Amino acid sequence: PRQPAKTLWYDRPRYVYLEFCVEDSRDVKVVIEDHRLVFSCKNADGVEFYNEINLYGRVNSKDSREKRSDRSITCFMRKWKEKVAWPRITKENIKPAWLSVDFDNWRDWEGDEEVERAMVEQYAEV
């Protein structure tokens, strides 16, 4: 049986970030399309996780990435329209129980582009 991974998201001027909270993940698959993201993996206990998100807005799938760590898999998706805030991550105006806003990373955008550029470069180096 598959279950959705606990997922955090936050919005930035150029990118939307999703963090799938799965420790010791393996067999990670992330498919980023212009209007949809599909995530799947297993954890150390063999539990299968699967999330499919119809995105609120269009992203540039060619300029989007993911990064795996011991604790989670973070996806950053380049927005098609930069500097347009996303009020939610899902196309549908519903909030799945497994999806939460990452308030630790949610900030006002004022003067935030340098911070965001540094974050993306940091991810890209790995």
Q: What is the pTM of this model?
A: 0.87
CATH architecture, domain defined by 7-125: Sandwich (2.60)
Q: Where are the domains of the chain?
A: 7-125
* pLDDT of 102 strictly over 70: yes
Distance CA 60, CA 73 (A): 19
Determine what percent of the chain is predicted with pLDDT higher than 90.
Answer: 79
Each residue's pLDDT tens digit, 77-89: 999 999 999 999 9
* pLDDT of 47 strictly over 80: yes
Q: Which of 56, 114, 115, 50 is nearest to 81 (CA)?
A: 56
